[in-house]
């Protein structure tokens, strides 16, 4: 599990792909004043979340779940598990995928994803997307006051 920055606000990136370090570096650039925690599996993310809850520390502001179009059952299981956990149900989950296949988009929303985003191509497009996400989720959206 990789971590950057020392901010109290943080995002969780769950990515089992071999390119997760590249994506983590993009996130660190796009969320420069936010800690980016990278987990390579939902199980590892659960360990991280459990430790945060045990020590009465805040949960991530957002969870980014990378979907691999080659493993749709695993994707669905991961999202279902995250959304069915009472302590995590309030945390927005954003699915990132290479696929624009309508059935995958519909399944993600059906299982409780708060957003389904198709991964952009190119560094500049990534930074534009992450800047827009940061503005939307930090400046526009209101979150419930949830105590853990």
* Every domain of the chain and the residues it spans: 2-140
The residues near 56 (Cβ < 8 Å, ≥ 6 apart) are: 148
Lowest mean pLDDT among 83-92, 102-111, 112-121: 83-92
Where do runs of H (alpha helix) occur along the chain?
A: 20-30, 42-54, 72-83, 102-110, 123-135
**Confidence (pLDDT) at 107:** 94
Residue 111: both structure tokens together: 């299982």
**Confidence (pLDDT) at 133:** 93
Taking alpha carbons only, the member of 72, 66, 70 closest to residue 118 is: 66
- Helix then strand count (H, E) for the chain reads 5, 6
Report pTM. Answer: 0.87
CATH superfamily of 2-140: Response regulator (3.40.50.2300)
Q: What is the Cα–Cα distance from 64 to 66, expressed in whole angstroms?
A: 6
Q: What is the DSSP letter of 98?
A: S
Instruction: Note whether 49 and 57 are within 8 A (CB).
Output: no
Please determine, for residue 85, whether its predicted confidence score (pLDDT) is greater than 90.
no
Instruction: Note whether 59 and 144 are within 8 A (CB).
Output: no
Is residue 62 classed as helix, strand or coil in its secondary structure?
strand
**Confidence (pLDDT) at 111:** 95
Top pLDDT among 6 and 97 is at 97
């Amino acid at each position: 599990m990789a971590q950057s920055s020392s901010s109290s606000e943080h995002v969780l990136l769950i990515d089992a792909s071999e390119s997760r370090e590249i994506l983590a570096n993009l996130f660190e650039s796009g969320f420069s004043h936010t800690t980016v925690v990278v987990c390579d599996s939902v199980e590892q993310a659960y360990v991280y979340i459990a430790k945060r809850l045990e020590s009465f520390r805040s949960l991530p502001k957002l969870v980014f779940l990378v979907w691999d179009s080659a493993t749709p059952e695993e994707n669905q299981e991961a999202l279902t598990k995250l959304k069915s956990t009472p302590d995590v149900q309030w945390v927005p989950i954003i699915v990132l995928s290479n696929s624009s296949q309508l059935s995958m988009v519909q399944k993600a929303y059906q299982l409780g994803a708060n957003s389904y985003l198709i991964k952009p191509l190119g560094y500049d497009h990534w930074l534009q997307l992450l800047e827009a996400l940061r503005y939307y989720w930090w400046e526009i959206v209101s979150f419930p006051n949830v105590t853990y």
